[in-house]
Structure 1
Amino acid sequence: MIFICYKKCSTCRGIQKILEEKRLHYSLREIDKEVPTAAELADWQQRSGLPLKRFFNTSGRIYRELHIKEKLPQMTEAEQLALLASDGMLIKRPILLAGREVYVGGDVKKYLENR
């Protein structure tokens, strides 16, 4: 498993605690230090089955400052992926890569609760 998080995020810290309590083996990837590429994000979106808009951190400062909510409907998928890949803080977290499965945000906790 690969756990993609922002270490200062309380939700991410809570998920990391669950991973450790369940003694699940995982690699940690800090989203602000190793920003996912557009290709990675496209792959994760396809594997997750989620709409691409679910990968945006809608509560983040940058999302609000750039008025992304208003811009998304006019953006192509390639433009959205490029925007997400431009700054890790735009990406919803945490993300858990568990084999071929990809879980984003609150879905990570639901997945771990059933393990």
Structure 2
Amino acid sequence: MISLTSPKEVLIYYYPQCGTCRNALKSLQQKGVEVEKIHLFEAPPEREQLKKMIEQSGLDIKKWFNTSGEVYKEQGLKDKLPQMTNEQKIELLASNGRLIKRPIVTDGIRVTVGYKEEQYEQEWGH
């Protein structure tokens, strides 16, 4: 039986220089969540892992793209994504961590993308 007082463990894909990622990490730590950190740009999730996390998140795949990032804009993805299949989009995300909206937090079952304190309170706060 799992004790409710035991710390939860999550994996966070993040970019250390990103203020949003730092805020998310701080929020998790304040909630007593044990966090394993992975640098999103150095070790982005692989294709199969991304596919699984996208499904677990319940979000549309376009919510996984960092639409304000330089790489997204340089590659003109706003116009290209609508013509791409989900498999092509996943391949693109797996090829460059800078294209992925950050941070990604998962406990292997639940997944959140981006950071909103209300969402973190609901998903990771209890």
| TM-score, length-scaled by structure 2 | 0.85
Question: Aligned pair 1:113/2:121, yes or no?
Answer: yes
Q: 2:64 aligns with which of 46, 55, 75?
A: 55
| Larger helix proportion of the pair | 1
Gap runs ≥5 in structure 1: none
Taking the aligned partners of 1:47 and 1:113, their CA distance within structure 2 comes to 18
How many aligned residue pairs are there? 114
Name the Cα RMSD after superposition.
1.2
Taking the aligned partners of 1:38 and 1:101, their CA distance within structure 2 comes to 18
| TM-score, length-scaled by structure 1 | 0.92
Instruction: Give how far 1:39 is off.
Output: 0.9
Gap runs ≥5 in structure 2: 1-9
| Other-structure match for 1:36 | 45
Instruction: Give how far 1:66 is off.
Output: 0.5
- Which of the pair has more CA radius of gyration? 2
Equivalent residues in 2 for 1:22-101 (5 A)? 22-101=31-110
Instruction: Give how far 1:113 is off.
Output: 2.2
Identical aligned pairs, as a percentage?
39
Taking the aligned partners of 2:70 and 2:97, their CA distance within structure 1 comes to 12
Instruction: Give how far 1:19 is off.
Output: 1.8
